[in-house]
Amino acid sequence: MYHHHDKSDPFGPKSYDDELFQLVLEKKIGAKIVNTPYYPALFEYLQTNQDEITRSYVEQLANQLQEAGYESEAGSLLLLYRGTHPALRTLDAALGAITKWFNK
């Protein structure tokens, strides 16, 4: 999932900041960046900034991912954010999480 970046790359992970991720979340374009180097960094940002505001963004992003056909990514995001142990974060668990949380 993570991409290698050349150290001379001005757009590598060192150039990402909270404002960039806030804009991605506010503009609801998270699903559009799944296949870019920005998504793993966004995923990490959400993991390290867990508060009430971020929780709503996580659920919104997971819903966007599911609607865009990225069910496993959506499930993985929900499992990570809800504190599921890494050993239990399998593809089956991720897909099950999507079914459970969005098909109530």
Report yes or no on whether pTM surpasses 0.75.
Answer: no
* More confident site: 49 or 31: 31
For the CA atoms of the chain, what is the radius of gyration? 14
Q: Each residue of 41-68: b (16+ CB within 10 Å) or e?
A: bbbebbeeeeeeebeebbbebbbbbbee
Q: Confidence band (pLDDT; 50, 70, 90) for 68?
A: very high
Q: Confidence band (pLDDT; 50, 70, 90) for 93?
A: low
Determine the pLDDT at residue 95.
64
What is the arithmetic mean of pLDDT over 11-37?
Answer: 85
- CA distances in angstroms from 94 to 36, 40, 49, 62, listed in the order given: 21, 16, 21, 11
